[in-house]
Amino acid sequence: MASIMFKKLAESFTQKSNKNIKVHTDLRASILHKLQKNNTPLIIKTSKSSDIFQSMLVSCNKAANTIILDELFPQADFKYNKETLFHCELREQGNITSFTTQFIDTVHASGMPALLMSYPESIEQEQRRNSFRLALKTGQYLSAKIPGEFQNSLTGIIKDLSHQGTRINIQGGNTKLLKKGDKLSGCRLMFDDKQSIQCELTVRNKRSYNTPYHYMQIGAEITDIQLSDKNLLMKYIAMQQRQQCRLNASNRL
153-207 pLDDT per residue, tens: 777 888 888 888 888 888 765 566 788 898 888 888 887 667 888 999 999 988 8
pLDDT band at 12 (very low <50, low <70, confident <90, very high): very low
Residue 31 CA to residue 88 CA, distance in Å, equals 13
- Does 34 share its domain with 81? yes
User: Does residue 117 or residue 248 have the better pLDDT?
Assistant: 117
- Does 152 share its domain with 167? yes
Region of poorest pLDDT, from 19-28, 54-63, 214-223: 19-28
Q: 72 φ, ψ to 5°?
A: -70, 145
Residue 197 CA to residue 183 CA, distance in Å, equals 17
- Does 88 share its domain with 113? yes
- Does 122 share its domain with 16? yes
Percentage of the chain lying above the pLDDT 90 cut: 29
Residues 6+ apart with CB under 8 A from 64: 119
How many angstroms separate the Cα of 7 from the Cα of each of 17, 95, 241? 7, 13, 15
User: Does residue 37 or residue 150 have the better pLDDT?
Assistant: 37
Of 89, 108, 127, the residue at which a domain comes to its end is: 127
Question: Is residue 2 in a domain?
Answer: no
Of 127, 146, 181, the residue at which a domain comes to its end is: 127
Question: Is residue 50 in a domain?
Answer: yes
- Whether residue 219 contacts residue 167, with contact meaning beta carbons closer than 8 Å, is answered with yes
Question: Is residue 49 in a domain?
Answer: yes
- Whether residue 107 contacts residue 114, with contact meaning beta carbons closer than 8 Å, is answered with yes
- Does 161 share its domain with 215? yes
Counting other chains too, the contacts that 58-66 makes at CB distance below 8 Å and 24 or more residues apart are: 58/109, 58/110, 58/114, 59/109, 60/29, 60/32, 60/33, 60/36, 60/119, 61/119, 62/28, 62/29, 62/119, 64/119, 65/118, 65/119, 66/104, 66/116, 66/117, 66/118, 66/119
Q: What is the pLDDT of residue 161?
A: 86
Question: Is residue 1 in a domain?
Answer: no
Residue-number span of the structural domain to which 71 is assigned: 12-127
Structurally, how many domains does the chain consist of?
2
pLDDT average, residue stretch 114-123: 93
**Residue 100 in this model has a pLDDT that exceeds 90:** yes
Query: Would you put residue 183 in left (φ > 0), alpha (ψ -120 to 50) or beta?
Result: beta
- Does 229 share its domain with 165? yes
Of 127, 147, 179, the residue at which a domain comes to its end is: 127
Question: What pTM was estimated for this model as a whole?
Answer: 0.48
Question: Is residue 6 in a domain?
Answer: no
pLDDT band at 4 (very low <50, low <70, confident <90, very high): very low
Question: Is residue 105 in a domain?
Answer: yes
Q: What is the pLDDT of residue 156?
A: 81
Q: What is the pLDDT of residue 176?
A: 65
Residue 61 CA to residue 18 CA, distance in Å, equals 30
- Does 108 share its domain with 195? no
In the chain the beta strands, taken as DSSP E runs, fall at 21-22, 41-46, 52-61, 66-70, 85-92, 95-109, 112-118, 124-127, 134-135, 141-145, 153-161, 165-171, 183-190, 196-209, 215-225
CATH number at 52 reads: 2.30.110.10
Buried b (16+ CB within 10 A) or exposed e, 126-160: bbbbebbbbebeeebebebebeeeeeeebebbbbe
> Mean pLDDT in the chain?
78
